[in-house]
Each structure stands twice: as C-alpha cells, then as structure tokens.
Structure 1
Amino acid sequence: MDIGQHTSHQYNQELEHVRNQSLQMGGLVEEQLGKALRALMENDSQLGEEVAYSDYRVNRLEVEIDEACTQIIARRQPAAGDLRLVISLIKSVTDLERIGDEAEKIARHAISTEGLASSLHTALRHLGDHVREMLRRTLDTMARMDAETARQIADSDLQIDAEFDVLSRQLLTHMMEDPRTIRDSLNVLWCARSLERIGDHCKNICEYVIYLVEGKDVRHTNRPKLGAEATP
C-alpha cells in the first residue's frame, strides 16, 4: 500500500512526515528494549539507569505525533485510506509508547537485580531475543505496510505467551527450592511479564497495519484463526 497522492503537495508532506515520525519513534523504542535487556543480562546498572531516564524522548514523540494527527484531521478532513492511516498511526504510537514503558521497567529491574541463575538467564535471554525479533519485524511491517506479514507476526504472539508460562513455572520452582532467591526471581518475573506485554503491543500494531491496508478490524478475533478471519 502506498500513501495516496493529492493535489495539495503540503498535504502529502504532512502525511509522510507523521508517518516518518512514528517510524522514528519505533526505532527509539527498539533501541530502548535492546539496551534494557543488555543491562539486565550483563548486570549493568549504569546502562539500566541510562535507559530508565531516556524514556522522555519516546513520550515527547508520542505527544508530537498525536498533535500532528489531530491537526490533519481538523484541517484536512481525511477520508478512506488517509483516514485509516491517521487512525492507525494514532493507535500504533500509543502501543509504541507502552512498549517504551515496559522497556523502562526492565531497565529499572536491571538496576536492582544482583544476578541471575544460569537456567533463568538462558530462559529470559531466549524470551527477550524472541520479543526483540518480533518488535523488529513489526516495525519493518509497519514501514512497508505489509498486511500478510503482519498477520503472521500477530499470530506468533501465542508462542511468546507459551514461553512466558514456562519461565513463570521455572521461577516458582526456583523460589521454592531456595527462598533466598525470591527477590531476584520476582524481578525476573516482572521483566518476563514486561516482555510478554511487549509481544501483546506488537500484535496490536500488526492488527492496525491490517486495518490500514485492508480496511478490516481484526481485533478481538480468535488468534489461531486471525489469518482466516482477516482474509477476504
């Protein structure tokens, strides 16, 4: 899907600018998540603090994009594909901001966690790598406005949910076997929960891409059948 061309060159520029801003915001969020996970895995409290105190950049972009979209709606009265683009951007940047919030939470846990047991380290790293890849693919799909790939990515959230369940059970067993690990194990659990929520936000963004391209709202459909429900 391409952004339509209009008789007003300024209108085209406004749409392209707000779209580019949303992709820039996605890049910042992806960077935040990568650094937050590295801080946690490497027990780097300084890097954790850097991520925790840089979230203002993402928040500022969300406000700027919302304001720009509001101005477009008020001044241009977009219709059809243009209106879907503006609506999907407004919704997507909300999810991107929340991904940034979850990355900040992980970074703050990295500051207070003393270290991870090797088994937990491996499981959390695997979940983190999976979520980072999902976010990367989501942002790529958002840039290319690829509904078919968006459908595939949205469905993959089920795998992240399953990984989170396995890690949660491992953490509970770890805490029962050695109560001295309860504090750090709970920190890991909250980090895993943040990663699981990031997967949910990626799924939401993919659903907005499907809405933008195909004009179909596939939210709240049965996830294993998302592809079938969204196919014309």
Structure 2
Amino acid sequence: MEITSDTHSQHISKQFNHELEELKTHLMAMGGLVEKQVQDAIEALLEGDSRLAERVRDNDKVVNDMQIKIDEECTRVLARRQPAASDLRLVLAVIRATSDLERIGDEASKIARNALSLVEAGRSPRGFVEVRHISEHVRKMVRDALTAFARFDTQLALSVVREDESVDSEYTTAMRSLMTFMMEDPRSISSILSVMWILRALERIGDHADNLAEYVIYLVKGLDIRHTDPDQLDDEAIQGKS
C-alpha cells in the first residue's frame, strides 16, 4: 500500500492516529534541532565564536535524549498496536531516521570541537571556502530530506539521494587541495587537519541525509533502494511503484 498524506487519518482508533502523528511531529522536532546544530557549528567555525561552538557541543545530549524518547514511543506503538503494512513502515522509518539524525548531531558536535581547537590556535582561513560551500550543500540535503519525510515526497527524496554524489565529489576535491597545501607548508599541518576533520564530518552528514531520503522512499513505496546505484534509479519507476 502506498502512503499519502491522508493515509494515517483513516484508522477507526483516533488514539492510534494521534500516536502516529506524534511520531512524525517529534521526528520533525528532532530534525529541526539537528539542522540548527549543523548551522550553528559552521557559524561558530567561520565566525570564530567559541561560545556558540560550546553550545553546540553541550546540546548534543539534548539530541541524544530526543532519540531515546522517540525510540521509546515507537516501541510502545509496536507493542500496543502491532501495526501492519504502511503503518509498520512508518514506525520502522522513524526508528531508522532518528538514528541518522542522532549521528548528524554527533557530526555537528565534532565540527564544534574542531572549531574550538581552531579558535584557540588563532584560526586559519585555509579551507574555509570549501567548508562554507559543502556545508551549504549538505544542510540543504538535510532540510530537503526532512521536508520529503514530512510531505511523503518521493521525488524530493530522490533528488537528495542523487545530490550525495555531488557532495562526495566536492569533498574529494577539497581534501586533495588541502593535502597539497599542507605538504607545501608544514607549519599549517595542525590547523589543516582540523579543517579536514570538519570536511569529513560534513561529508558524513551528507551520507546520513541520503539515508533519510532513502527511508522516505521505503516508507511511501515500500521500496528499498539502499544498495542501488543512484544513476540506475528512474523517476517514473519510483513514482509508479506502489
């Protein structure tokens, strides 16, 4: 059964409808916080704002607590309602999504910690252009993946999956550039390594956004595309799968 925006308003039990909507609402709240964590971590780096970096680092526990709460809610729904078909896919997709959101939060915390190291060392602008560019790219991926989840939008989800290859390519190019600069100026090794760890964290955020988008397609269409080459994915096939 394909999921639409009206699917989960068709149960006889209003309480069951409410529980499913609550799962989505809490997932979106967690997603919003995680997206803000990434944004603040990058801003802390680029602006040399140690207080903001510390706040991102400290907020990681809030993200972790939200994951635990949502997982507990999913467990209760599974135990009480024993959902089937599209309802079961929704609960499973939420469980998987919270795991990826928590890991995005972890990566934001890593960025914040490296930002603090760079601030303490006097900061180096080398690599900041690449960080800004890739961060804008992956933040859009996260935002679009969450929007796709909220709207059950498989077309938007598929566009996120395809964007991940672009991020990987940008990441590889940026890393090569930084390695060349590091070899030319050994004094920059420490600061460049911090920037490289930040780029790695951003690349991983892109991977997790890709996962979120794949869960949307699984949720709506019941189609698992996790190990499918994005170039082999066809819009019409995804849209027509039921």
Report the TM-score when normalising by structure 1.
Answer: 0.96
| Residue-by-residue CA offset, 1:123-144 (whole Å, 9 max, x unaligned) | 1111111111111111111111
| AA matched with 1:40 | L
Give a deviation string over 1:7-40, Cα, whole Å, max 9, x none: 1111111111111000000000001000000001
Q: Does 1:218 align with 2:225?
A: yes
Alignment-mate amino acid for residue 132 of structure 2 = R
User: Greater shift after overlay, 129-138 or 189-198?
Assistant: 129-138
Which residue, 215, 220, 231 being the options, matches 1:208? Answer: 215
Distance 2:22 2:128 in 1: 41
Work out which of the residue numbers 10, 15, 25 in structure 1 matches 2:15. Answer: 10
Match of residue 153 from structure 1 = 160
Which residue in 1 is equivalent to 2:53?
A: 48
Cα contact 2:144–2:160 (8 A) shared by 1: yes
The partner residue of 1:126 within 118, 128, 133 is: 133
User: Match of 1:20, as an amino acid?
Assistant: T
Give the conservation status (yes or no) of the 8 Å contact 2:104–2:208: yes
The farther-off stretch of 2-11 and 163-172 is 2-11
Report the equivalent of 1:60: 65
Instruction: Map 1:83-98 to 2 at 5 A.
Output: 83-98=88-103
Amino acid at match of 1:27: G
Distance in structure 2 (CA, Å) of the matches to 1:72 and 1:179: 56
> Any gaps of 5 or more consecutive residues in structure 2?
none
Mapped to 2, the partners of 1:90 and 1:20 lie a distance apart of 13
Where do 1:30-49 residues align within 5 Å?
Answer: 30-49=35-54
Give the conservation status (yes or no) of the 8 Å contact 1:211–1:217. Answer: yes
Count the aligned residue pairs. Answer: 231
More displaced 10-residue stretch of structure 1: 38-47 or 195-204: 38-47
Q: RMSD over aligned Cα, in angstroms? A: 1.2
- Report the counterpart of residue 101 of structure 1 in structure 2: 106
Partners of 1:142 and 1:116 in 2: CA distance: 38
Task: Return 5+ residue gaps in structure 1 as ranges.
Answer: none
Tell me the CA shift for residue 149 of structure 1. 1.1
The one of 117, 120, 123 equivalent to 1:115 is: 123
C-alpha separation in 1, matches of 2:234 and 2:86 = 21
The DSSP-based 3-state class of the residue aligned with 1:12 is helix
4+ residue segments displaced more than 6 Å: none
Amino acid at match of 1:85: L
Q: Do the aligned partners of 1:84 and 1:211 also contact (CA within 8 Å) in 2?
A: yes
Task: Tell me if structure 2 keeps the 8 A contact 1:151–1:227.
Answer: no
Q: State the SS of the aligned residue for 1:53.
A: helix
Whole-angstrom CA distance in 2 between matches of 1:116 and 1:135: 27
Write the letter of the residue equivalent to 1:17.
Answer: E
- In percent, how many aligned pairs have the same letter? 48
Q: Does 1:165 align with 2:172?
A: yes
Shift of the alpha carbon at 1:146?
Answer: 0.3
C-alpha separation between the residues in 2 aligned to 1:173 and 1:89? Answer: 42
Letter paired with 1:8:
S
